Amino acid sequence: MSAAIESKEILVGGQFLISESQPEDTFIPEEQNEEQAMIRQMAHDFVNIEIDPVREKIEKQEPGLTPSLLEKLGELGLLGAHMPAEFGGMELDTNTNTIISDVFGSLGSFCVPFAAHTGIGMLPILYFGTEEQKQYYLPKLISGELKAAYCLTEPGSGSDALNAKTRADLSKDGSHYVVNGQKMWISNAGFADIFIVFAKIDGDKFTGFVVDAKSKGITLGDEEDKLGIKGSSTRQVFFENVEVPAKNVLGDIGKGHLIAFNALNIGRYKLGVMCIGGNKVVLKMAVNYANERQQFGQAIGNFGAIKYKLAEMAIRNFAAESAAYRTSQLMQDKKGMAMAEGKTFGEATRDAAEEYAIECSILKVLGSEVTDYCVDENVQIHGGIGFSEEYPAARAYRDSRINRIYEGTNEINRLLMVDQLFKRALKGQIDIVGPAWAVQKELASMPSMERLEGDYAEETKAIADFKKVILMTAGGAAKMQMDGKLNLKDEQELLMNCADMLIDLFSAESMLLRVKKLASMDKPQPQEVYDSMLQVYFHDVNARMSKNATDAIASFAEGDLLKTFLMGLKRFVKYPAVNVKEKRRLVADAVLKANDWCF
């Protein structure tokens, strides 16, 4: 690792709320190197050559097709791009793996078997497997010889995963465990060779196992008739007196929650990135149709109502993409430092994902909700054709809905990111109390009359003020809890408000860092287009900050205290008015001219 990286100060997870970042701290897609460009092209070629011609067959789950496509990815090395070289992986850096996930957002239903296999199917073994387990399973998973599935959810335990009823009992001779239970919504179940299974030993010790999918006593339910992602295999898995060798226990007995949660961190991150990649395809679909469809003597893309939709699709996805690649760089830096300290590739990868669990949850929620906006407006732009199953707009619309549910529902992820923030503060990992107290003291002083100067001065000040809004709101709620006047566990609406403010802050700041960096680079579009996207996004974030903070504060404060908070809020949400109509049109014209995603 270079001396530059060794001396670089890296923000810990959640620290973006109280610290200032610089453009050089982030990675943006426009600065990919030659090797990354080659990997991106390889991924694009796979989509164009192997996936596009057989999309209909994938949707119909033609027998053997999905496993064969996974094997082709194995031959290209793309199943092991994130795996150590000692097991046959490519051991690529985090940013390059993010690029692969970005491109593979265009895989449609095939996203699911790919992501389930390479993520929650492989990572538990990399993170927690014994050396023997890693040596046996990982090379075969990387090559595609074995396909993996992840068995966590049960009929009575979804978001509450630790309420599982599947049981494992050690045999009298200690050679194996006998597993009984039922799992549901298991992706890849129809063709998987191994299952990562979670069961409670003796009914109380939540533990992970690697289970041969062909073991006696395992049966599968029928394929689920799903709303979307119809090309993915989803079945129930039943375990009846299934004998699992004792050596197949994964990690420590009773510590299965560590496996489940650590695998989900990176899964949430990659889901967010894949959503962003898929959004680019949806935007292209929408802009192609807007350029082709003629009404009232001209292309519908000429109309302001359509320009608004295209611009919003581009702006929201650009913001999400900026946040994703910023997090990618954070994880890459963290992993590099951990390896320099002597940790293995697997340990360092796990620690980096765990460190940025808050950011991973942000990206999962942000990416999936931007996707929902994009696919909905894509159908609207297509009109009646968009409602027909003969055209791809309908399929994209159906496929998108699951993204807000799996890898932890968006509601759970919102609660988690705020909970993680408070836990990190209580453990002393980040200092929120000091900055929150500084905001309270600022509210008691006269507002500064200092004039803003320099490029992006308004946006830089807005970010600092947005942070104060969150610290003021969260600090006020925390104070009420300490005084015994509030129990935050019972205030989910308030926590959701705080989570939405965190999402807006992180995405807006990430976008600002990217646009600042672009100002000194060659880029696909004139700087005026990027500045327009930035200003529209900040204009809208400013309004959402005000709304979310007001809703949150009014839920725990009243009388003079409420007035004090609201006066402070007015001080901190003062991003200047923007002619968003003209700026959105500028962005829409750029994508209409390119007839594609062009950033």
**DSSP conformation class of 207:** E
Kindly give the residue spans of alpha helices, DSSP state H, lying in 247-344.
Answer: 256-292, 304-340
Lowest mean pLDDT among 211-215, 442-446, 499-503, 523-527: 442-446
Query: What is the per-residue DSSP string for 75-86?
Result: HHTTTSTTS-GG
- Percentage of residues in the chain with pLDDT exceeding 90? 91
Residue 242 backbone phi and psi in degrees, to 5: -80, 125
Domains in the chain and their CATH numbers?
13-147 (1.10.540.10), 149-254 (2.40.110.10), 257-412 (1.20.140.10), 430-448+455-594 (1.20.140.10)
Residue 3 has a pLDDT of: 36
pLDDT tens across 440-496, in order?
888 888 777 777 788 999 999 999 999 999 999 999 999 899 899 999 999 999 999
Asked if residues 102 and 59 have their Cβ atoms less than 8 Å apart, the reply is: no
| Torsion 186-190-195-200 (CA) sign | positive
Confidence of residue 523 (pLDDT cuts 50, 70, 90): very high
Cα–Cα distance measured from residue 266 to residue 202, given in angstroms and rounded to the nearest whole number: 30
* Polymer length of the chain: 599
**Amino acid (1-letter code) at residue 81:** A
Tokens representing residue 104 in the block: 């593979």
pLDDT tens readout for residues 331-381: 999 999 999 999 999 999 999 999 999 999 999 999 999 999 999 999 999
The single residue listed with the structure tokens 């004139």 is 526
Report the pLDDT averaged over residues 44-53: 98
CA dihedral angle for residue 565, residue 568, residue 572, residue 573, rounded to 10 degrees = 60
pLDDT band at 10 (very low <50, low <70, confident <90, very high): confident
- Distances from the Cα of 323 to the Cαs of 250, 397, 572, in angstroms? 33, 24, 23
Catalytic pick from 312, 355, 407, 491?
407
Q: Looking at residues 242-257, what average pLDDT do you find?
A: 97
Residues 495-523, mean pLDDT to the nearest whole number: 97
Which residues, other chains included, contact 468 with Cβ-Cβ below 8 Å and sequence gap of 6+? 439, 442, 572
115 in Cβ contact with 274 (< 8 Å): yes
Give the Cβ contact number of residue 206 at 10 Å: 22
pLDDT at 254 over 60: yes
What's the confidence (pLDDT) of residue 474? 93
The whole-number average pLDDT for the span 259-281 is 95
Q: Is 131 a catalytic residue?
A: no
For 555-579, the DSSP string reads TT--HHHHHHHHHHHHHH--PPP--
Closest CA to 398 of 101, 159, 596, 108: 108
pLDDT for 417-432, tens place per residue? 999 999 999 899 999 9
pLDDT at 5 over 80: no
**Is the model's pLDDT at 137 over the cut of 50?**
yes
**The pairing of beta strand 205-212 with beta strand 176-187:** unpaired
SS3 358: helix
Mean pLDDT of the chain: 95
- The mean pLDDT of 500-518, rounded to a whole number, is 98
Q: Mean of the pLDDT values across residues 285-314?
A: 98
The predicted-structure confidence for 58-90, as pLDDT tens digits, reads as follows 999 999 999 999 999 999 999 999 999 999 999
Helices assigned H by DSSP within 144-255: none
CB 539 within 8 A of CB 546: no
Tokens of 290: 């807007």
Residues above pLDDT 70, as percent of the chain: 98
**Tokens of residue 410, six digits:** 């968006």
* pLDDT of 6: 47
**Nearest-CA neighbor of 13 among 497, 336, 316, 422?**
422
Residue 373, burial from CB neighbour count under 10 angstroms (0-12, 13-18, 19+): middle
Q: Dump pLDDT digits (tens) for 551-564.
A: 999 999 999 999 99
Least confident of 158-162, 362-366, 388-392: 158-162
Query: Amino acid identity, residue 277?
Result: G
CB atoms inside a 10 Å sphere around CB 519: 14
What's the pLDDT tens digit per position in 28-45? 999 999 999 999 999 999
Residue 226 has pLDDT above 70, yes or no: yes
Residue 2 has a pLDDT of: 39
Structure tokens at 378: 């894509």
Considering only 127-131, 218-222, 394-398, 477-481, which range has the smallest mean pLDDT?
Answer: 477-481
Question: Which class for 346: exposed (0-12), middle (13-18), buried (19 or more C-beta within 10 A)?
Answer: buried
Cβ burial, residue 160 (10 Å; 0-12/13-18/19+): exposed
- Segment 207-220, tens digit of pLDDT: 999 999 999 999 99
- CA–CA separation, 474 and 41 (whole Å): 44
pLDDT confidence band for 8 (50 / 70 / 90) = low
Beta pairing partners, 198: 208
